[in-house]
Amino acid sequence: MKRPLKKLVFVEPKSTHLHIYSRVCIPRLGSVLLGTVMRSKGYDVRVYIEDIQAIDMKEVLSADLVAVSAITSTAPQSYKLADTARAAGAVVVMGGTHTSFMPDEGMQHADFVVRGEGEFAFQELVDAIQRGDGFDKIQNLTYRTDAGQIVSNSERPKIPNLDVNPIPDYRLIEGWKPGGVVSIATSRGCPFSCTFCSVPGMYGHAFRTHSIDRVLEELTLHKGNLYTFFADDIFTANKKRVKELLRGMIGKGLTPQWGAQVRTETVDDPELLQMMHDANCFNVYVGFESINPRTLKLFQKKQDLAKIERSIEKFHAHNIRIHGMFVVGSDEDDVETVDATAEFALKHDIDSVQFMILTPIPGSPDWDTLYAKGDKYVINRNWSLYDGHHAVHQPRRMSPYELQMAAINAMSKFYSWRGIAKKILKGDLYYMTIRYWGKKMLREWWKDDENRAHVDWLRGQLYAEARELGHQSVKTIGLPAALLQDKLGLLLQRFLGELGVTVVPLAEAAVEGAREAMDCLITPMVKRAEQGREEFYANLTAVSEALRQRWDKLPKVAFPVIGGQGPVFEPFAKIGLLVTQNLDRIRDAYKTAGVAEGLWEAA
């Protein structure tokens, strides 16, 4: 491909869903950084961050090359924009975290995908197009050969010295006005391995930095802005370096109100805390993730509840506000855990919060265990719902519908008149406003057709069998006796007993008259056989099919069996709803049965 390229347009589409940052745009730096690089090489550059200003499609369609950055939740509209630009004749390049990990998907809508850190790959790509060279030597590039084959070149080593990149020029962003909010990255990479996070996959575990002088220079260029967000994955990962930076900021009078992402361990250094206060730190964004010790262990978070409580106390003691980030919906969470998290946030007066629903995004370890390898149900593959505000996977201890409603209810509890009143009593008008906006945002969330449709769909999945057969119409249930050879079947039998249901174990050659004694038949459906037990699952499938044929007119309820996974609450809930409409009673029966069968400890 050889084409003259003069005008380049970079675009970051905005999320289609409301969230707590909808009113305050903290721009990502990828597009403006690449735009700055290419402007320095003589190109006519436009940068559109849709959260700042609406995209001018005339400008996009008049470009020679359009570069679209996509995160997972913006992938659908990013692809739509890419399709439109390609149809108009532009060369389309996609980047960002989503297409970095899904390059083949991105190539369905683009001419090229730049994966991971794109500064050098993008420059080399544009140069190659201008010259008509081949693309096989450009690391981090995915492209299409003349024969139509999609090729992903090798990964490029991470940039060791970030100072090779220019300071992003915010003046390239259409609609941006000085004096507002800016992002400044002082480092890249995260040494930790939280299972839900894609940062290490994108930027690596090695902690790489800009020099202190370079950061101070960038702060000087933005002097007078309202708020600076240090866009590091963990701002205080190297405490000695951060102290040097803060010392420089204080010494040079470069102390706008600022915030950054940090971990709870930050408060273990009293000198650092005091310097953050002295440098005018306004707030910190802390990934608390959970108050459930089992969930923290599952997330590989390497912190406990005592650390969380101590960090809240010490940040507040230094007049540093806290935005607490929690992830709900792990295999160790239940409805009560989510509600308790909201109570915890109110009790400790965390200034603002996000209750993000666990979401298996590409590039995260959870992607491999929840999605790509199929160890769990992924119940929805609409990328626009992968924003942390919509349940898209099957948790173990509650149904997806209950997880969705628990997260919404937790937000509603925190962003309530009760929460607003706490800030009014403290005279904190700023966070009173934030909490009021959160309350209003939740009302707006429910007005969105797609949000309501998703909640209705989740509820429909849970109540499908009960809607068909009716509540309280089931007193006696038959199930294959073969299922009782498995701990899952024994748990199901005990669970039904807790609900007052009589269980009739059925062999393939069941006695006549059993039909009249049963209200419905549970028919196990083997989704995956556990290694080493293939014969058992084959027999269970054969017996279940024989029973289905024998009593073809008897109402049947499918019960998924996934070998090696252990029990999942939702199939039990679906059966329980045939007996009672009280989900709390069903949940109690499930917990009691699990304890009795030795599958988990009593709470």
- Reported as a pLDDT band with limits 50, 70 and 90, residue 275 is very high
- Among residues 200, 439, 410, 430, the alpha carbon closest in space to that of 324 is found at 410
Residue percentage of the chain with pLDDT more than 70: 95
Please name the CATH architecture into which domain 470-596 falls: 3-Layer(aba) Sandwich (3.40)
pLDDT computed for residue 509 by the predictor:
52
Mean pLDDT of 589-602: 85
Task: Tell me the backbone φ, ψ of residue 528, rounded to 5 degrees.
Answer: -160, 130
- Cβ neighbour number for residue 355 with a 10 Å cutoff: 25
| CA distance to 180, 220, 256, per residue, from 223 (Å) | 11, 5, 8
* Element (DSSP H or E) covering residue 188: strand 187-188
Residue for token digits 């369905």? 108
Mean pLDDT of 403-415: 97
Who has greater pLDDT, 467 or 36? Answer: 36
Q: Give yes or no for residue 230 having a pLDDT over 80.
A: yes
Mean pLDDT of 103-129: 97
Lowest mean pLDDT of 199-208, 392-401, 508-517, 576-585, name the range: 508-517
Q: What is the DSSP letter of 532?
A: T
- Among residues 154, 142, 160, the alpha carbon closest in space to that of 95 is found at 142
Residue 289, sorted as left (phi over 0), alpha (psi -120 to 50) or beta, turns out to be: left
Residue for token digits 């062999």? 507
Residue type (1 letter), 429: L
Mean pLDDT of 588-593: 94
- Among residues 74, 80, 140, the alpha carbon closest in space to that of 110 is found at 80
The SS3 assignment for 578 reads coil
178-459 has CATH 3.80.30.20 classification? yes
Q: Give yes or no for residue 471 having a pLDDT over 70.
A: no
Q: Could you tell me whether strands 257-262 and 227-230 are parallel, antiparallel, or unpaired per DSSP bridges?
A: parallel
- Reported as a pLDDT band with limits 50, 70 and 90, residue 18 is low
Tens of pLDDT along 34-65? 999 999 999 999 999 998 899 999 999 999 99
**CA-CA distance, 329 to 295, in Å (whole number)?**
9
Q: Where in the chain is the domain with CATH 3.40.50.280?
A: 7-152
Tens of pLDDT along 64-99? 999 999 999 999 999 999 999 999 999 999 999 999
**Cβ contacts of 340-346, under 8 Å, gap ≥ 24:** 340/291, 341/290, 341/291, 341/410, 342/409, 342/410, 342/411, 342/413, 342/414, 343/413, 344/291, 345/414, 346/413, 346/414, 346/418, 346/419, 346/422
pLDDT computed for residue 45 by the predictor:
97
| CA distance to 34, 215, 301, per residue, from 307 (Å) | 39, 30, 11
Q: Where in the chain is the domain with CATH 3.80.30.20?
A: 178-459
- Contact (CB, 8 A) for 506 and 551: no
Mean pLDDT of 290-306: 88
7-152 topology per CATH = Rossmann fold (3.40.50)
- Reported as a pLDDT band with limits 50, 70 and 90, residue 309 is very high
**CA count, 13 A, side-chain hemisphere, 377:** 19
Tens of pLDDT along 421-462? 999 999 999 999 999 999 999 999 999 999 999 999 999 999
Tens of pLDDT along 148-180? 999 999 999 999 999 999 999 999 999 988 888
Q: What is the DSSP letter of 7?
A: E
Residue 566, sorted as left (phi over 0), alpha (psi -120 to 50) or beta, turns out to be: left
- Reported as a pLDDT band with limits 50, 70 and 90, residue 373 is low
pTM, two decimals, is 0.92
pLDDT computed for residue 585 by the predictor:
95
Who has greater pLDDT, 366 or 581? Answer: 581
Please give the mean pLDDT across all residues of the chain: 91
